[in-house]
Amino acid sequence: MSKRKDTGERISDAEHAIMEVLWEKNPVSATDVCDAICDERDWSIATVKTLLSRLVQKEAVGTEPDGRKFLYRPLIERSDYVGGESRRLVDRLFGGRAAPLFAQLAESEALTDDDLAEIEALLREMRK
């Protein structure tokens, strides 16, 4: 999978749902995507095709012909997307500092003991 150039265009929540399907299995047709998420989201195949078209324009998704239909595949890695979104969240809400994010999560009791153990292990690993 190749990295897309950063066009500065954000992926919407609806487009992200499409990307999750593509990251799970690809290449797939618009019908395959719809089979995976249309019922739970109350979407039609037309909605899926619109979202796929937007993702192609944003260079997040590529296409390849397959007879009379197209197959879609992600052009960005999930880990790259998550990393970029995480950075934007920390920058926008916490002035670029991660510590206030963790403090907020701890104060709102959003972190379980398992989460804290994982974070502590990651910090120990990073310090090595």
Q: Which amino acid is at 91?
A: D
Predicted confidence at residue 118, as pLDDT, reads 87
Quote the CA–CA distance of 56 and 17 in Å, as a whole number: 15
Cα separations in angstroms, 55 against 26, 44, 46, 75: 15, 17, 14, 10
Q: Which CATH class is domain 78-127?
A: mainly alpha
Domain ranges (residues) in the chain: 13-74, 78-127
pLDDT digits (tens, 9 = 90+) for 58-75: 999 999 999 999 999 999
Class of the CATH-defined domain 13-74:
mainly alpha
Q: pLDDT tens digits for 104-118?
A: 888 888 888 898 888
